[in-house]
Copies of this chain bind each other. A is one copy, B any other.
Amino acid sequence: MRPAESDYAANVTLGIIEGKWKLLLLCHMHNGTKRFCEFTSLIPGLTQKVLTYQLRELEANGLVERKIYPEIPPRVEYSLTAYGESLVPLLDLMNQWGQDHQKLKAALE
C-alpha cells in the first residue's frame, strides 16, 4: 500500500482503497459476510496470496473484520465493520462515475 504522500487527505483514502481487488472485495462484503474461499470463486483471477494480503490490509485499516472459527475444517469469515460501511457512499459514487464513463466511451465509437 502506498504511503500517504503529500498532505492531501484524499490521497490517504486513495492509499487505503487502491489495490487491484480491494474495491471488489469491499463490494462483495457489503453484500454479506463471506468466507475466504468464496472470494476466490467469486473473483476469477484472484490468487490466494494476493487475497490474503489485501484482506489483511483492509483489516489493518479497520474496514474489515476477520472471524476465525476453530473448527475442522477451518472456517474464516470476513465482513465489513461499521467503519468499513462508511466507505459505501464513496464506493457507490465511484461505481456510478465509472459506469457513466464507460457509457460515454462506448458512445464515442
| A contact set with B: CB distance below 8 Å | 2, 4-6, 8-14, 16-18, 20-21, 23-24, 27, 43, 45, 61, 83, 86-87, 89-91, 93-102, 104
Known: A20-B2, A24-B6, A45-B5. A12 touches B102 (CB 8 A): yes
Query: Across the interface, which residues of B come within 8 angstroms of A94, CB to CB?
Result: 9-10, 13-14, 90
Query: Across the interface, which residues of B come within 8 angstroms of A27, CB to CB?
Result: 8, 10
Copies of this chain, tallied across the complex: 2
Q: Is the interface of A mostly helix, strand, loop or mixed?
A: helix
- A56 → B minimal CB distance (Å): 17
- A2 → B minimal CB distance (Å): 7
Query: Across the interface, which residues of B come within 8 angstroms of A89, CB to CB?
Result: 93
Query: Across the interface, which residues of B come within 8 angstroms of A95, CB to CB?
Result: 8-10, 13
Flag if A10 contacts B86 (CB, 8 Å): no
Flag if B12 contacts A101 (CB, 8 Å): yes
Flag if B24 contacts A14 (CB, 8 Å): no
Give Cα distance in the complex from A17 to B94, angstroms. Answer: 10
Query: Across the interface, which residues of B come within 8 angstroms of A2, CB to CB?
Result: 20
